[in-house]
Structure 1
Amino acid sequence: MTSLETRNIPRDSLFLMAQLRLEGQDASYQVKVRNLSAGGMMADGEVRVVRGMMVSVELRNIGWVEGSVAWIQDNRFGIAFREEIDAKKVRAMPQAGNEHSAPRYTRNYPDSAPGKVRKI
């Protein structure tokens, strides 16, 4: 897709943390996902990228997604995904037992009543 074609794709504003890997590097960087659509996302983080650079980003409930840097402005940059994703799936709460599940201390337990604090 060209940049003009992707401007018309509906996108969700959100605040979510994700891991980013640059092509040819083993290190990963933490970035903030500012908005997300089926075709790409806006990230914010202290990582040096250049337009056209291939990257992979780990998105909640989906896993690693490949794409390329489409634009850069200060610490924010756009990533155009190689293949479309289900953006609603990323917004959904993580499922228990999933590799990308919520931290243990935030999960509901069957023996705890709603609205009550569980003693640890």
Structure 2
Amino acid sequence: MGQLRHSVADEHTTPERPDNRGRGDIHLSARMRVNDDDAGFLVRIRNVSAGGLMAELPYPLPPDSAVQIKLTGLGWVAGRVVWQTEGRTGIAFEQPIDVALVQETTGAIH
């Protein structure tokens, strides 16, 4: 899991120094839910890659919690909480996503 953790968020990535894993800074809101029948709650996504994302949550979730994130262009994407610190949470996706679909529909990835 250490590898997933590192690939989900890297504090040293900036728009001026792009990440070679296809992750980009992004600033958009999305819905996250813990149960399939739950309407979810709003989160702010800070970066996204094919393997996961970093988001600001209104409250912490237990480590290894199964979650779903509704991403523009993809719908609900399943993942797990892999780390949390100072209001930010790393989510590893169960299956890789096509970041280009999110990028095309939001235009928010730099």
Which interval holds the TM-score relative to the shorter structure? Answer: 0.7 to 0.9
Q: Residue deviations 1:38-89, cap 9 Å, x none?
A: 0000011203311100000000000000000000012110000000000111
Q: Which residue of 2 aligns with 1:40?
A: 52
CA RMSD in angstroms comes to: 1.9
Structure 1 unaligned spans of 5+: 95-120
Q: Which residue of 1 aligns with 2:41?
A: 29
64 and 74 in structure 1: CA distance in 2 versus 1, 3 angstrom threshold:
same
Letter in 2 for 1:65: V
Pairs aligned (count): 93
Q: Which residue of 2 aligns with 1:87?
A: 99
Letter in 2 for 1:32: R
Alignment of 1:1-120 (within 5 A): 2-4=1-3, 7=6, 9-23=21-35, 26-93=38-105
Structure 1 stretches of 4+ moved >6 Å: none
Larger radius of gyration: 1
Q: RCO (CA 8 Å, sep 6+): is it higher in 1 or 2?
A: 2
61 and 78 in structure 1: CA distance in 2 versus 1, 3 angstrom threshold:
same
Task: Give TM-score, length-normalised by structure 2.
Answer: 0.75
Identity value in percent: 33
SS at match of 1:67: strand
Q: Distance in 2 between matches of 1:56 and 1:7?
A: 20
Q: Aligned-pair distance for 1:91?
A: 1.2
| Residue pair 2:68, 2:77 contacting (<8 A) in 1 also | yes
SS at match of 1:7: helix
Structure 2 unaligned spans of 5+: 8-20
Letter in 2 for 1:81: F
| Residue pair 1:23, 1:53 contacting (<8 A) in 2 also | no
